[in-house]
Structure 1
Amino acid sequence: MIICEELLLSHGAELQNYNSGEFIFEEGATPRYYFQIRSGTVVINSILDDGKEFIHGIPFEGHCFAETYLFHNVNYAINAIAITACEIIRMEKKKFFKFLLKHPEQIFHLYSYTADRMHYRYLTAAALSFRDPLTKIDLVMNYFKDYFGGKEKHSFLIPYTRQQLASLTGLRIETVIRTVKKMEKLDMVKIDNTKIYY
């Protein structure tokens, strides 16, 4: 977890429950809260002009999301939607700033988490501009395996569906399906039923 739940709750944070498919906030809304996931999974996305979804991230238990918006005077350019039933700790912006002033060491936890996400963006930004879908998918899978500490070949279960991989890489789902099959033939992944092991 990014910030200790007990600390947040003892400083005025509250628990909110969201059902699968429910918006936590929508693009264009004013940022008013710090959000940290106690349980469940959220998708951070944008809906493009052609109606396609682009996934920026899929935070889950212990992660925070959209916290950088609290430090800037702009509205959300993204959506946050519960993928599963979620219990989310939220703290009103003014209370959150008072909390950080009282516990400045928490700023380092927050900044470290944000830096890790920026590292992912830098790693993937150039590769996602490549036309080769195998390079894109391999890069994303490799990042997640490294992030979660996977070492052995074919030991890491990719925690995303093929549709989510498509949205993370900007590819069509058919392209992802074909590419994953090609990766299996090249012994880059192992497929067990619908599960992908990298």
Structure 2
Amino acid sequence: MQKILLIGNPKLLQESIADLLQLNHYEVVLAENGKIGIEKARALHPDMILCEMNMNGIDGLGVLSCIRKEPALEAVPVVFLTDQYDARAFREVMNLGADDYLVRPFSGNDLLLTVGNRLHRSKIAAMALPGHSPEEKHNLKQMIREFTANRNTMRLAPQETVYKEGSTPRYLFYIRKGKVKTVKTHEDGKDLVIGLYKKGDFFGYVALLEDAPYKATAIVMEDTELLLIPREDAEEIFKRTPYLVTEFVRMMAQNLTEKEDRLLGIAYNTLRKKVASALIHLRNKYQQPEAENFTIRISREELASVAGTATESLIRTLGDFKSEQLIAISSGSITLLDIPRLEDIAFH
């Protein structure tokens, strides 16, 4: 029996969806909020997830972001449920890896067709892709441990450079501790952050897979420890483990979509939208699932390069957000106090 995890208001989901799914021979598990939903997904490995878009605490986007970072869950179909269509929200969840988006009111037949089609497509994809058996997916963490075992390490302080744009790739990097950003520098000297990486992330793999020089500069954001995997070793492991190559290609595609959306926003958004989008982007990247509030320590110059705006303009906007009680600022740290309102500014 295929297992479906429902995340959201238990009373609403039980009455409108759970009973129907159970009558059609699906096993249903309920989770009343995003945090519990993530925990149950990790523990139960469902065949599919139906998730409310708008929830208190960790919302649908937060759930999806966490799910797609879990190797054992990255291929699980995720369908969002919402009370109204929002073109910006739809585009964002699909870019993050959602499989579908159901807008109420929808019929029971619409729901069953969506569930059946997505489960069928997931099964076909798993059968078609080499190295994508369920056993390999569940063993990915072990594969990564073997991939990173007994490697040389490098410890760097904030603002130190890992590699420079235009240099030849010699290593694949894995973050054991800390944060790293990749930066493009304009001819006028201004920096734009195009990638953010955290503990447990690989980076530098695009240049290796393309066999081309680095297209950006990698800079450490806080005290960081990196594992260094020589290029020759990485290439040999890729040959022996096709599934890892697929994982890196998937990460490349996801990062490319994310960069395209951010660059589009930087080009056309208002200043308030740019700053709000940067704060939400950092939260989606770095917030721990168990944390109620998101706090990050980041320099104003770094945040300005993430937002794609001048530092002086950023500081004024942060002051406005503080006055509106959207954020709190203390000793260089920023805490997001009203995420729904910040998301409303960022995406509407």
The within-5 A match list for 1:140-155 is: 140-148=278-286, 155=293
Corresponding residue for residue 38 of structure 1 = 176
Query: Which sections of structure 1, spanning at least 5 residues, go unmatched?
Result: none
| Distance in 2 (alpha carbons) for counterparts of 1:56 and 1:21 | 16
| Distance in 1 (alpha carbons) for counterparts of 2:209 and 2:154 | 22
| Distance in 1 (alpha carbons) for counterparts of 2:266 and 2:159 | 27
Give 1:68 deviation, angstroms.
0.7
Q: Work out which structure has the larger RCO, using CA pairs closer than 8 Å and 6 or more positions apart in sequence.
A: 1
Give 1:159 deviation, angstroms.
4.4
1:137 aligns with 2:250: no
- Normalized per residue, the structure richer in helix is 2
Structure-2 change in CA distance of 1:191 and 1:82 (3 Å) = closer
1:6 aligns with 2:145: yes
Corresponding residue for residue 322 of structure 2 = 184
Structure-2 change in CA distance of 1:5 and 1:54 (3 Å) = same
Preserved CA contact (<8 Å) 1:141 1:158: no
| Distance in 1 (alpha carbons) for counterparts of 2:262 and 2:313 | 18
Give 1:140 deviation, angstroms.
1.9
Corresponding residue for residue 189 of structure 2 = 51
Residues 111-159 of structure 1: CA distance to partner in whole angstroms, max 9, x if unpaired? 34334323421332221112521111111222333344589xx922144
Which amino acid in the other structure matches residue 187 of structure 1?
A: Q
User: Of residues 74, 90, 104 in structure 1, which corresponds to 2:228?
Assistant: 90
1:123 aligns with 2:261: yes
Work out which of the two has the higher radius of gyration on C-alpha atoms and give 1 or 2. 2
Residues 168-187 of structure 1: CA distance to partner in whole angstroms, max 9, x if unpaired? 12211111110011122333
Which amino acid in the other structure matches residue 72 of structure 1?
A: E
Structure-1-length-normalised TM-score: 0.81
Corresponding residue for residue 56 of structure 2 = none
Query: Which sections of structure 2, spanning at least 5 residues, go unmatched?
Result: 1-68, 72-140, 337-348
Which amino acid in the other structure matches residue 63 of structure 1?
A: D
Corresponding residue for residue 171 of structure 1 = 309
Structure-2 change in CA distance of 1:128 and 1:27 (3 Å) = same
Q: Aligned residues: percent identity? A: 20
Which amino acid in the other structure matches residue 88 of structure 1?
A: L
| Distance in 2 (alpha carbons) for counterparts of 1:91 and 1:150 | 27
Structure-2 change in CA distance of 1:9 and 1:130 (3 Å) = closer
Aligned length: 195
